[in-house]
Amino acid sequence: MTEGGQPEETAGAARIVLVTGPSGAGRSTAIAALEDLGYETVDNLPLSLVPRLIDGPLRQPLALGIDVRNREFSAAGLIELIDRLTRTPELHLEVLFLDARPEVLSRRYSETRRRHPLAPSEAPEVGIAQEIDLLVPIRARADVLIDSSDMTIHDCRAEIGRLFDMGKRERLSVSVHSFSYKRGVPRGLDMMFDCRFLANPHWVPGLRPLTGLDPAVAAHVAADTRYEEFVNRVRELLLFVLPAHVIEGRSHVAVGFGCTGGQHRSVAVTEAIARALAEAGWHVSKRHRELERRALASPAGMGTTGA
């Protein structure tokens, strides 16, 4: 294993990031962000021409944007290309998949009044459904999955920078998420833990309007006699499996903690685990989905749902 986290067999190999995903999920934003990071970018080159592009020496990392607008696009063809590049020892390929919920994609199309490339004469929802179905096998092959549903363009660019900045990227990036089960499980989680068995601050009037970021709430959750063992066991599990993910060549692992409202318990545990992993030397980022939703909708209204 090299110091930067790549397996020895890929050390020194030319780096290629293949960027794809449904139209409207942020692929163009990702391509622009990678270009700003120093990658050479080529967007929607016909699949048959990609081998020619990389046949010569690559002087800098390369980002390839490929989506359904490509005149030669097919899921089978793209998978064949991914397999071919993966088997080439001189290359280190990563597949970046930008995704978003169907209703978010539909809203974005409505806002821009664009036609969907798969259904130019029909409602965007028709093309969105077709494209999501078409990309299922590609999504399954992704090394890095970014769900941009609740992200701004700036959020998306920042996430790309965190994951692909050649000067800052660690051997493996770990993102730790808190969420509400009532709003569904976030896409792209590799591991998920349920915090609903812990003492719920929602039932303490003075703590109800606060969040797991508040010391009083964190202390209340930590006072549960099961908390310390739970956090320690999760920490030990992650410290055991993360090096194995590095050996397998993974670049990103997402870990989620859920509770009822995503406001108290899951937030407090996410903070504790993220802190523990950072102290152990891992590159960690945090996302509190429900707190971000409420801040965007109404900053003054945060904290109205029990966690």
CB neighbour list of residue 281: distance below 8 Å, 6 or more residues apart: none
Can you tell me the distance from the alpha carbon of 220 to that of 204, in angstroms, rounded to the nearest whole number?
10
pTM value?
0.55
Coil, helix or strand for 91? strand
Which pLDDT value is given to residue 92?
87
Q: What percent of the chain has pLDDT over 90?
A: 43
pLDDT score of 104 more than 60:
yes
- Per DSSP, the three-state class of 98 is strand
Question: What would the pLDDT profile of 232-288 be if each residue is shown by its tens digit?
Answer: 999 999 999 998 888 776 778 999 999 999 999 999 999 999 999 999 988 888 999
Give the pLDDT mean for 48-60: 81
The pLDDT of residue 305:
41
Q: Rounded distance, CA 230 to CA 254, Å?
A: 19
Tell me the β-bridge partners of 16.
62, 93
Q: Give the residue, 48 or 180, on which the prediction is more confident.
A: 180
Residue of 225, 226, 224, 207 lying closest to 264 (CA atoms):
207
Across 111-138, b (16+ Cβ under 10 Å) vs e yields: eeeeebebbeeeebbebbbbbbebbeeb
- Homologous superfamily of the 8-164 domain (CATH): P-loop containing nucleotide triphosphate hydrolases (3.40.50.300)
For the chain, residues classed under CATH 3.40.50.300 are: 8-164
Question: Could you tell me which residues are beta bridge partners of residue 300?
Answer: none
Work out the burial of residue 306: count CB atoms within 10 Å of its CB; fewer than 13 is exposed, 13-18 middle, 19 or more buried: middle
Q: How far apart are CA 17 and CA 167, in angstroms?
A: 16
The pLDDT confidence band at residue 113, using thresholds 50, 70 and 90, is low
pLDDT value, residue 156: 86
Query: Residue 199 pLDDT > 90, yes or no?
Result: yes
Q: pLDDT band for position 1 (50/70/90)?
A: very low
pLDDT surpasses 70 at 5: no
Report the mean per-residue pLDDT for the chain.
85
For the cut 80, the answer to whether the pLDDT of residue 168 exceeds it is no
The secondary structure of 257-292, three-state, reads EEECCCCCHHHHHHHHHHHHHHHCCCEEEEEEHHHH
